[in-house]
Amino acid sequence: MYHGHEYAARGYYYHGGYYHNYYGRYYYRGVYVNPYYPAYYYGPAYYGWVYNPWVRPVPYAWGWGGNPWYGYYGAYFAPYPVYSNASLWLTDYMISSSLQAAYQASLDAKIQAAALSNPAPLTPDVKQLIADEVRRQVALENTESQTAKGGEPDAASSSIQRMLTDGTQHIFISGQDLDVVDAAGTECALSQGDALQLTGQTAPDATAVTLAVLASKGGRECAKGDTVSVKLEDLQEMQNHMRETIDRGMQDLQKKQGQGGLPAAPAAAKAEPVQSAMAASAPPPPPEKEVAAELNEQAKDADKAEQEATAETAGAEPPTVALGQSPDEVAAALGKPKSIMDLGGKKIYVYQDMKVTFNAGKVTDIK
C-alpha cells in the first residue's frame, strides 16, 4: 500500500541479478490491469539524448556470434549494422532479450524444434515501427519523471488506456507465451519476440482488442497478417514487457555510452537515475537467498502436484463430450475453456486441443 493505493510487485532473477518491479492497479473497462511504474527516473537531458538522433551513425558489436539463441533465430532477427539513434539500439536490445528468454524457455520445456519453420521475419519496416514505439515509450517515461515526482504516475496515461484511445496504431512485443484465437476462430500461439500492431479503435466497453501479427517465428504460431484477439490484461503485460526491457536497456546504455563505438552522452545526461517516490516508500525487496529458496520450493511443489495428478488420472476413464450436451456438462467434463467465442445464438468453447460448438445451448459440433 502507498498513499492509500494498492500496488503489485514482482521479483525477478535475470542473468544472475535480482530485479524488483512495481505495478499499479487500475480498473479499466470492467477489469483490473497492472501498468508498469518505473522504480527509477532519469533527468530530462538523458531522456533527450535517448530520444533524439545522435550526431552520426555508429556501428556496434553485440557479441552474440557464439550464442546458440542467435543462430537459432537467425532467420527471424538480424541487428542493425549501424545505429543513428538510441531507439534503434534499444529496439535490438529489447528484441534480443525477448528471443534469449524464448530460447531458454523452449529448452526448459524441451519443445524446441531443430529449426524455425517458415518464420515471418522482423523486416526493416517492422523494426522501424518498433523503434518508433520505443521512442513513444521513452517520451512517456520522460513525462512521468516530471509529473509523478510526488507519487505514482497517472494510470490513465501510463497504461494501455492511452494507447487504445490516442488514435495511433501502436506496436506491441509479446513478452510471454499466449494462446489466442484469430479472425477465423482458429487457435494459434504467440511467443516472446513476436511483433503485433493495434489495428484500430476498440469499443469503449471491449475487454479484448484486435491486433495484427507483423512478425512471427512460424510453426504453430499465428501467421503474419493474422488478426488475433488479445485480452486487456495480456495487452497490458505486453506494454509492461516493452517498458521494463527499455528501462533495462537505458541502464545498460548509460553504463556503456562512450564505449564500444557508442557515442558519449552529454555531461548533463550522465547523472545516475533517481529512485521514484513510490519505489522509495515501498517495502524493500526480500534477500536474494529467500527468493531463490521460495522459487525452488514452488518448483518442487509443482513437480509433486503434476506427478500426483498423473498418477491419479492414469487409470481413470477419459472425459466424454457428446452431441446434445449443455455448456455446463461440457465444462464439467473438460474444465473451464481457454476462451469463449460468443456469436449470438452460436458459441464456441476453445480448449487446448479441441473446439466445441453450441447452437441454442446444445453441442452441435466437436473438432
Residue 345 has phi, psi (to 5 degrees) of -75, -10
Confidence band for 115, pLDDT divided at 50, 70 and 90: confident
Longest Cα pair distance anywhere in the chain, in angstroms?
Answer: 73
Is 130 exposed, middle or buried (CB count within 10 Å of its CB: 0-12, 13-18, 19+)? buried
Q: Following DSSP, what letter does each residue of 47-84 receive, concatenated?
A: HHHHHSEEEEEEE-----TT-HHHHHTTTT----SEEE
pTM above 0.85, yes or no: no
Q: What is the mean pLDDT of residues 63-79?
A: 94
Q: What is the mean pLDDT of residues 320-349?
A: 87
The residues facing 18 across adjacent strands are 13
Higher pLDDT, 220 or 291: 220
187 vs 177: CA distance, rounded Å: 13
In the numeric block, which cell numbers belong to residue 347? 458459441
Q: Hey, is 235 helix, strand or coil?
A: helix
Does residue 112 carry a pLDDT above 80? no
Choice among 54-68, 146-160, 251-265 with the minimum mean pLDDT: 146-160
Higher pLDDT, 148 or 92: 92
Does residue 309 carry a pLDDT above 80? no
353 vs 351: CA distance, rounded Å: 6
pLDDT the model gives residue 353: 78
CB-facing half-sphere around the CA of 130: CA atoms within 13 A = 31
* Cα 23 versus chain centre, distance: 14
Q: Which helix (H) or strand (E) holds 281?
A: helix 277-281
Choice among 76-85, 127-136, 301-310 with the minimum mean pLDDT: 301-310
Does residue 281 carry a pLDDT above 70? yes
Contact between 12 and 290 under an 8 Å Cβ cutoff? The reply is no
pLDDT the model gives residue 89: 98
Q: What is the mean pLDDT of residues 127-131?
A: 97
Q: Mean pLDDT, the chain, as a whole number?
A: 88
218 vs 220: CA distance, rounded Å: 6
Summarised one tens digit per residue, pLDDT across range 21-32 is: 889 999 999 999
pLDDT the model gives residue 113: 62
Max mean pLDDT range (141-150, 181-190, 233-242): 233-242
Q: Which helix (H) or strand (E) holds 213?
A: strand 208-215
Does residue 297 carry a pLDDT above 90? no
Does residue 200 carry a pLDDT above 70? yes
